[in-house]
Amino acid sequence: MTQSIPYLFMRGGTSRGPVFRREDLPKDRESLSDTLAAVIGAGHPLCIDGVGGSASVQCKVVMISPSDDPAIDVDYFFAQVGNANRAVDYGPTCGNMLATVGPAAVELGLVAPKDRLIVRAVNTDARIEVRFALAGGMPVYAGTMRIDGVPGTAAPIALSFFDVMGSKTGALFPTGYRIDKIQGVPVTCIDVAVPVVVLRASDVGLSGREAPGDFESMPDVMEHLEKLRVEAGARMGLGDVSDSVLPKVAVLSPSDPEEASARVQYLTPKQCHPTIAVTGAQAIASCVAIPDTITSSHQFNTGSQTVTLQHPGGKITVSIDVAGGAAMPKIQSTEIVRTARKIASGHVHI
């Protein structure tokens, strides 16, 4: 029997996917996973029978609801759906798709129209202030903001993240060290918005200039990185991560210092991201800003600082507010500006 579910189809940052009211989807996790896999068309590398695609950035699902917490406007629940397989992972959140949450909450009538919302990321329990433009009580998508990895321009959406340090592990450096050696490779395991294993391209035989698609033709490198990731996940207290997308892996190489602090290839983890994840950018920027990590490259400063990262599609800038000293730094908040667009609205049929 065919089901018809109301939805919006939206681009958020450099990702896209369906946006649902949580109440329109099954409550129990098994039925929910089956529904989301069917919506995306998971189980085929091109997701040919659903609204997903061949890349992980096309297989994301946003589920939103009014929050029971009076201090929060909207609860944002995220799922990363597989393409070739039917896996549905609720472990991470997605900062790019977060850009859709404010406008979608207004579009779907979940909140009264206002241009500043406090959002709770259900997956990580982080709080985010989302600021976006309204006109006549509805979101404005057209504007002059340009972000790398997306053609054209759109209205800016400012995302200020709180409670992101130790998002999944409870610690900034979940192994207890700023540098570990895993599978013979020096790495920094850091958890800001998402757990990430950060390493240097040269330490795994890469130049840092490889295109995202090149990784698919390097099975030996990908196998080594996966073994490293799985061992790092165990050391970070995440257990057996063989079937999880966490932790992510970030491969860093030098960039022109006048352009950016570092060049990043971000693995999701089976593919190289065509640009970079917003959550991953926060973790990597924090790694750059804090001394004695695998990537720290400038003098440590408390207070607000800005880190620009170069990625395959361009650049992204992260503002970081750091408290405490170099010995015990604390990431108070981060901020990134994204854009979003409503592509379609209606019903999806499964």
Same domain, 141 and 265: no
Question: What DSSP string runs through 205-252?
Answer: T--S---GGGGGG-HHHHHHHHHHHHHHHHHTT----TTS--SEEEEE
Same domain, 185 and 291: yes
Alpha helices (H) along the chain? 29-40, 95-98, 101-107, 219-235, 278-289
Angle at 164 between CA 283 and CA 311, to 5 degrees: 25
DSSP 284: H
- Residue 174 counted as domain residue: no
Neighbours of 227 (CB within 10 A): 12
Same domain, 228 and 324: yes
- Residue 119 counted as domain residue: yes
**pLDDT tier at 259 (50, 70, 90 boundaries)?**
confident
Strand blocks (E) in the chain: 4-12, 15-21, 60-66, 74-81, 88-89, 116-121, 126-131, 134-135, 138-139, 157-162, 180-182, 185-192, 194-200, 248-253, 262-267, 303-311, 314-323, 330-338, 340-349
pLDDT surpassing 60 at residue 208? yes
Q: Which CATH number does the domain housing residue 252 bear?
A: 3.10.310.10
Per-residue pLDDT of 135-191, as tens digits, reads 999 999 999 999 999 999 999 999 999 999 999 999 999 999 999 999 999 999 999
Q: Which of 321, 238, 312, 234 is nearest to 273 (CA)?
A: 312
- Residue 343 counted as domain residue: yes
Same domain, 154 and 199: no
Looking at the structure of the chain, the number of domains it has is 2
Cis status, amide bond into 92, omega within 30 of 0: no
What is the spatial distance between Cα 218 and Cα 38, in angstroms, rounded to a whole number? 31
Domain that holds residue 252: 180-328
pLDDT surpassing 90 at residue 216? no
Same domain, 203 and 132: no
pLDDT for res 234: 98
pLDDT for res 297: 59
The DSSP bridge partners found for residue 344 are 9
Phi-psi region of 41 (alpha: psi -120 to 50; beta: other; left: phi over 0): left
What is the spatial distance between Cα 188 and Cα 179, in angstroms, rounded to a whole number? 5
